[in-house]
Chain A
């Protein structure tokens, strides 16, 4: 393949003593977390627990107020070096955030053409490749408004995959989907995990956590209350807060 996308960022994440406040509001307090190469970590917790903020700090959309954040070897807490992460990790948003004026192929190849300066043909080839990966190759010419929610999110995943990321962040990727469309997205996520992608996933889908996570991290009030392998944490939680949260979730 000519013009391959070289992505030599590492594949692990190290957070140490990370705190984040927005003005007077303390959202994260002294969070320490390591994600190793190829690990799938699922963050769960109520709204306001800080899980989304933690994810956004890892992907570079927010900066920590204090503490050390190293993603793929890039020291994110150093404002001069933090931008190095851009284009090397992937992020899938709750609201998809597809570009409505471009079709699926256009969305997927935009970064390839403008950031990696790939030729139109090479970008198109890579675009079809990742769209096939998520099962959307036959809709490559369709615009977001012509696709269902699940299809749009799969295109969003393909867009994230196009730059050959080592780490992908999922911020409540299925929360905005109708229930019957959730499965097609979690299936894609599961196959990515099976290929050894490092994934940090914020979700309410306990089924996904149980089947696909290597580790589940429960957050409450800006700290990690409990973490462990899914079988342990989800079936046999120790922390009273975890027990309370899980009982509320499974009641739904």
Chain B
């Protein structure tokens, strides 16, 4: 069992890397989609809304498989599994990030927009200095919660063959036939990564309720 730790560890590192890249990607994409949802150009908000609804209503494996086979079709079978997984995870979670950001933006009362307008602030200044700081404060706990989900969802990249932590565990189980201790060890890895973040989120959300 202990001999398998190095393999699990390298899988864990890959999980960390995939998580970091996908979190960054989903945040950037999510911000763009949230902006598109509030845009004044006709049709754009509707398309953005459809984007959000489709991803929130479908399971991640389908998105990942779509990206994987799509890349395979256009790039041949030398698809970089890490990139495919990162793209799939980023795109999927961007839909949720967009919703969280949009709620944060809309939580800023209209009265503050009016006050800013009277003071002479232009629309982009109001967004940068009045709306955005408050949005970040409101949206940060749910966004971190979304990160926790994303870290767990990296395990699904195993279905396209990426040897992250989950797949590493699977491959060891296939060889040693000791599923219980291996999978429990894998569980400890994920728990150690996610639990501290969960504690932070719960603490922050309790503060909001108390205000």
What B residues does A72 contact at CB under 8 A?
Answer: none
What B residues does A101 contact at CB under 8 A?
Answer: 133-134, 137
CB <8 Å contact, B121 and A110: yes
CB <8 Å contact, A97 and B114: yes
Annotate B114-143 by CB proximity to A: 1 below 8 A, 0 otherwise.
111111111001000110011001000000
Residue of A60, A95, A99, A145 touching B118 (CB-CB under 8 A): A60
Minimum Cβ distance to chain A for residue B42 (Å): 20
Minimum Cβ distance to chain B for residue A28 (Å): 19
A87 within 8 A of B: yes
B112 within 8 A of A: yes
Count of chain B residues with Cβ under 8 Å from any Cβ of A?
19
Minimum Cβ distance to chain B for residue A112 (Å): 9
What A residues does B112 contact at CB under 8 A?
Answer: 97, 99
B111 within 8 A of A: yes
CB <8 Å contact, B137 and A93: no
The residue on B at minimum CB distance from A101 is B133
CB <8 Å contact, A88 and B120: yes
What B residues does A116 contact at CB under 8 A?
Answer: 120
Summarize B's interface: helix, strand, loop or mixed: helix
Residue of B114, B119, B122, B134 touching A100 (CB-CB under 8 A): B134
What A residues does B133 contact at CB under 8 A?
Answer: 101
A1 within 8 A of B: no
Q: CA separation between A90 and B134, bound complex, in Å?
A: 24
Give the interface size bracket for A toward B: 20 to 34
Q: CA separation between A111 and B130, bound complex, in Å?
A: 11
Most B Cβ at <10 Å: residue of A95, A99, A160: A99
What B residues does A93 contact at CB under 8 A?
Answer: 111, 114-115
CB <8 Å contact, A87 and B111: no
What B residues does A242 contact at CB under 8 A?
Answer: none
Annotate A106-133 by CB proximity to B: 1 below 8 A, 0 otherwise.
0000110011100000000000000000
A89 within 8 A of B: yes
B6 within 8 A of A: no
Interface residues of A (CB under 8 A from B): 59-61, 86-91, 93, 95, 97-101, 110-111, 114-116, 145, 156, 159-160, 163
Name 13 extra pairs, CB < 8 A, besides A110-B121, A114-B129.
Answer: A60-B118, A87-B121, A88-B120, A93-B111, A93-B115, A95-B111, A99-B115, A99-B134, A101-B137, A111-B120, A114-B121, A114-B125, A156-B115
A-B contact pairs, 7 of them (CB 8 A): A86-B118, A86-B119, A87-B120, A88-B120, A110-B119, A115-B119, A115-B122
Shortest 3 CB-CB contacts between residues of A and residues of B:
A87-B120, A97-B115, A97-B111
